[in-house]
Amino acid sequence: MAETLLFNALREAIDEEMAKDPTVLVMGEDVGHYGGSYKVTKDLYKKYGEWRLLDTPIAENSFTGMAVGAAMTGLRPIIEGMNMGFLLLAFNQIANNAGMLRYTSGGNFKIPMVIRGPGGVGRQLGAEHSQRLEAYFQAVPGLKIVACSTPYNAKGLLKSAIRDDNPVLFFEHVLLYNLKENLPEGEYYLPLDKAEVVRSGSDVTILTYSRMRHHVIQATKTLEKQGYDPEVIDLLSLKPLDFETIGASIRKTHRVIVVEECMRTGGIGAELIASINDRFFDELDGPVIRLSSQDIPTPYNGTLESLTIVQPHQIVEAVEKIVNLKV
């Protein structure tokens, strides 16, 4: 076991897959000589050359379209968005091209590409650099969407994403890059369609992902002292959602709280609640509680910024409310 930072776990995943498969390449702004905006590709150009660590112009629609073409011809490109918010400039290439070409070509083309990079609310990065785009792409057919939350799952999920024959959007949170964890020696892969039960419990199911996993864990420490027994599930896969794991938990606890950093209106939580009501309504002892970010551009001011996203004390209050709800 070796203690590894999350950004280095991602680097190890890319390095291992590039060493195994000469069709894997990375392209994006500053991914080569600079090593990526958060050093995920640091010095890999020295090992694999500048054509496999391709520094591109600041033209997201152009290099994302080029990556789609590369994937169609047998390569496995990894796109790094210097900030995931910038990939809104490539929405057409991701949605209409990457997401749909396998279908619209009648299966003649596979699109094995990964689109990864930093996102989420950081520390005073301003509105345009604090985007959470997972819900923007949730409705696009043909895409898989993953959100890592620890060094262990970051490495295992990214390796699987690189090997997948479909386009995978891989969301990394800007505030988790320096998270440390001991990783096992040797190779491992994690499935792209399975959630993780972080903590087993019987009182309430808490569904979360990305950085909010750690806010939920912090809240759980308080809840345990108060005698509550929450079950915590890190979704990991946002598309498809793992309703087998979610359903098994709901049948046990009969109460659900969704904790997300995504916006409340049209967010991942909105889709979760609709699907839970469709599939498991008879198992619920009360309405699903949703804790989401406020529907405003993220303020630059640090105090205001923290008020826009869910904090651990709000999670504690939600558990107290739903567990003590009279039915």
CA distance 215 to 325: 23
> Is 60 annotated in the active site?
yes
User: With contact defined as beta carbons under 8 Å apart, do 180 and 2 qualify?
Assistant: no
Residue tagged active-site, from 60, 134, 172, 271: 60
CA dist 239 to 66, 179, 186, Å?
A: 24, 25, 28
For the record, the structure tokens of 68 come out as: 């789609």
At a CB cut-off of 8 Å and minimum separation 6, what does 129 contact? 83, 85, 122
**CA separation for the pair 281, 303 (Å, rounded):** 38
Pick the catalytic residue: 12, 29, 129, 214?
129
Q: Rounded to whole angstroms, how far apart are CA atoms 158 and 51? A: 21
Determine the length of the chain.
327
Is residue 129 among the annotated active site residues?
Answer: yes
d(CA 31, CA 36): 4
- Catalytic annotation, residues: 60, 129
